[in-house]
Structure 1
């Protein structure tokens, strides 16, 4: 295995070759032969999101933390369940924001 750096390889290649290699239409022919870009199917994502929201809602339906926290939050009282609910909502909002920005950068 060689331990030469990328800069040394770049310099060697620049000395050995005068310029770009003519492709004589190769790139155009290749682009025409490629299959068309397939669209992403969105329904698996949305069905998974809905299933997750439904499962989370069913699991928290009888939990006293959710009801007590929502009731205290609406009254303006800072109880432990209200703070836990507020932190969970803030965390989910931040994760959704981070995810949407990461997806926007990928495109």
Structure 2
């Protein structure tokens, strides 16, 4: 995991996600999930693109089920963007399409 992507746990959730002063892109994943691992370079690329504007975090659903439950995660990989007081599930998986979707949400 790159330095631009932060691992978040139940213990750090409030400080890193809820009290963030910028939008937060959350990648819900697990180490046994092949598609999650395949998505990692995309997530790291987005962290570089949005450095300073969007906080990018990863939540291991096996180690932090309370966060996954809170966001209604039913399958992984699952991406969500917290912005403007809303939580939006992101559908796209390519870096270009995700960036376009994030840009549209952020305005």
Greater helix percent: which structure? 1
- Give the number of the structure with larger relative contact order, counting CA–CA contacts within 8 Å between residues 6 or more apart: 2
Q: Which has the larger radius of gyration?
A: 1
| Structure with more strand by fraction | 2
Q: TM-score range by the shorter chain?
A: under 0.3
TM-score (norm 1): 0.20
Q: TM-score, normalised by structure 2?
A: 0.20
